[in-house]
């Protein structure tokens, strides 16, 4: 079983304010992530390269994304999240996730 934590409290609180349907899907996908870890694939999760992954949440109200990485010992850290407003993921959102991933990996 994998454990899931958040980069910081703000990331957790942002996800908790997502629209109800999107947040419910996030919670469902977190359960799958805890069971399957890095083996969770499309359409639920997508590898973005260099150890960064994207959790793909959706509901009738829209689409949410949560970037995460893994640490030694079956630990998953949710780094950054947002509600999608465009088809493409904004480079700024990806940059935040990559920066936080470096911080988490270097803090080991």
Q: Are 69 and 45 in contact (CB under 8 A)?
A: no
Domains along the chain?
A: 3-106 (3.30.2310.20)
User: For the segment 13-37, what is each residue's pLDDT rounded down to a tens digit?
Assistant: 999 999 999 999 999 999 999 999 9
Binned at pLDDT 50, 70 and 90, residue 108 comes out as low
Binned at pLDDT 50, 70 and 90, residue 72 comes out as confident
pLDDT cut 70: percent of the chain above it = 99
pTM, rounded to two decimals? 0.93
Structure tokens at 81: 């999240």
**pLDDT at res. 107:** 78
Q: Is the pLDDT of residue 89 over 90?
A: no
**Burial of 33 (C-beta count, 10 Å sphere; 0-12/13-18/19+):** buried
Q: Are 19 and 57 in contact (CB under 8 A)?
A: no
């Amino acid at each position: 079983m994998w454990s899931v934590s958040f980069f910081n409290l703000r990331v957790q609180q942002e996800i908790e304010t997502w629209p109800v349907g999107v947040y419910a899907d996030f919670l469902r996908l977190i359960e799958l992530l805890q069971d399957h870890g890095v083996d969770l694939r499309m359409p639920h999760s997508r590898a973005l390269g260099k150890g960064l992954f994207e959790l793909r949440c959706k509901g009738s109200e829209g689409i949410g994304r949560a970037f995460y990485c893994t640490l030694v010992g079956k630990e998953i850290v949710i780094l950054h999240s947002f509600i999608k407003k465009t088809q493409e993921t904004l480079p700024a959102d990806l940059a935040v996730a990559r920066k936080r991933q470096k911080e988490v990996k270097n803090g080991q």
